[in-house]
Amino acid sequence: PHTELEVTSSSVVETDKPEPPSKPISWEELAAEAVRDKFDEVLTPTHYTPISRRLERVGRRIIKENGPADAVIAAARWAHSELKYVPGTTGVHSSGLDALREGKGVCQDFAHLTLVLLRGMGIPARYVSGYLHPNRKAVVGDTVDGQSHAWIQAWTGSWWNYDPTNDSEINEQYISVGVGRNYADVTPLKGIYSGEGSTDLDVVVEITRLA
């Protein structure tokens, strides 16, 4: 029997600003059977990213005005405009549409909502789980409170990243831990609790710039 379980993880990682996406493909190429078969897993709806008729209509409007690469940014900006960042308003089981109904959520919800829109447009898209250093000009050696974070990857000829929560491309402040179809594929910590009584979870993220 115990009253507390503490898990500590420490890593040294090297980050860099990602290369811009390669020459994008067309909507016709995205719709090819070979492409849809290859990326079926990240085009199929899930619990967190269900089908939405409303978002399909939004997607059709975006397609009319943009090529696939620009459509990714337009989709992320639409999600960014529809949700207000409010911690505690959704839970780990909330879908992107749950957050849309509330009009607020956290980074997980911004990512899921964007994924619903992208997959509805036929763009392969993945959920990225990781961490974010809050200060781009941090002093070397200073330890600061970091943030658990989530963003998306889209495939428009190659995989590239975008952050719907901050409506921005990612840079060396982002630390990618894993990619999957949605949050459930890349949870930071997973386990089963058995017993009586209530539980509380507390998470601390500390990041130190080394160079």
How many Cβ atoms sit within 10 Å of the Cβ of residue 73?
A: 17
Ranges assigned E (strand) in the chain: 84-85, 104-105, 125-132, 143-145, 147-155, 159-162, 174-180, 206-208
Beta carbons within 8 Å of 139's beta carbon, 6+ residues apart: 209
Q: What is the pLDDT of residues 157-211, one digit of tens each?
A: 999 999 999 999 999 999 999 999 999 999 988 888 787 777 788 889 999 999 8
Packed helices 107-120 and 68-82: angle between N→C axes, nearest 10 degrees: 140
Look at the block and give the residue holding tokens 């952050």. Answer: 163
Q: What is the pLDDT of residues 38-47, one digit of tens each?
A: 999 999 999 9
pLDDT band for position 79 (50/70/90)?
A: very high
The per-residue pLDDT for 192 is 81
